[in-house]
Amino acid sequence: MIVAVDGPAAAGKGTIARALAKHLGYHFLDTGALYRMVGLAALRAGGAPISAAAAIAAARTLDPGAFADSDLRNEMVAAAASEVAAIPEVRAALLALQRAFARQKPGAVLDGRDIGTVVCPDADVKLFVTASQEVRARRRQQELGAADYESVLAEILTRDARDSQRPVSPLIPAADAVIIDTSDLDRDQAVAAALRAVMANRVGR
Ligand code: DC
């Protein structure tokens, strides 16, 4: 059983995917963290502008244990992740790892941008979690403890545009995804909506 959870930045997909995995007793993978690790490695290898060669080398030799979660969560790393994520060789290097993770028993929940479209096109349930730009920027601002709403909004819009417009594995809902708009939902309501969608789609399988 594979549950794919995709969507733009700060829509709540990480929270939803984690809660679903816990509830269902499934494995959970935050695939954005893999791209963040590659982005951070490329920054450390030489910074701006990011070298594609450094990013590709980092993706091919990725050691997830070598990165602290706290290093991955800032906006500089998020922007670098979005940049390296547009490099086809980086995506190819991370694909096998994600697919192997998804095959684990009794099931797996993966969150990202292209899980339902490219990584696991045969996922049993596909959710596309979204929210208005303003709501997503407010949430990210709170999460980061950032002072400036406008710069957080600008960063999110730049990242969404890059993630949606790249030629390889762009951020788009799979044709068979259930759309969950969390703009007017609190955390518990969003998780409940996702759980309902999973249960409804499991019927008859
Ligand atoms: O989910 P996140 O914000 O941690 O992801 C960081 C960046 O990684 C995101 O802007 C685009 C990229 N990404 C991707 O291209 N494909 C994925 N499956 C997950 C993340």
pLDDT in tens, 7-17: 999 999 999 99
Ranges 41-50, 132-141, 157-166: which has the least confidence:
41-50
Residue closest via CA to ligand 1's atom 1 equals: 32
Q: Ligand 1 pocket: which of 16, 29, 31, 128 to mutate (most atoms <8 Å of CB)?
A: 31
For residue range 80-103, list pLDDT tens digits in order.
999 999 999 999 999 999 999 999
Which atom of ligand 1 is nearest the CA belonging to 79? Answer: 10
Please list the alpha-helical segments (H only) found in 26-87. Answer: 31-44, 52-60, 69-72, 75-84
Q: How far is 124 from 180, CA to CA, in rounded Å?
A: 17
Residue closest via CA to ligand 1's atom 9 equals: 82
Both structure tokens of 81? 């992740």
SS3 17: helix
pLDDT at 203: 52
Residues having CB closer than 6 A to ligand 1 are 9, 31-32, 35-36, 78, 81-82, 85, 112-115, 159, 163
Q: Are 189 and 25 in contact (CB under 8 A)?
A: no
Give residue 204's pLDDT band: very low, low, confident or very high (50, 70, 90): very low
Domains delineated in the chain = 2-200 (3.40.50.300)
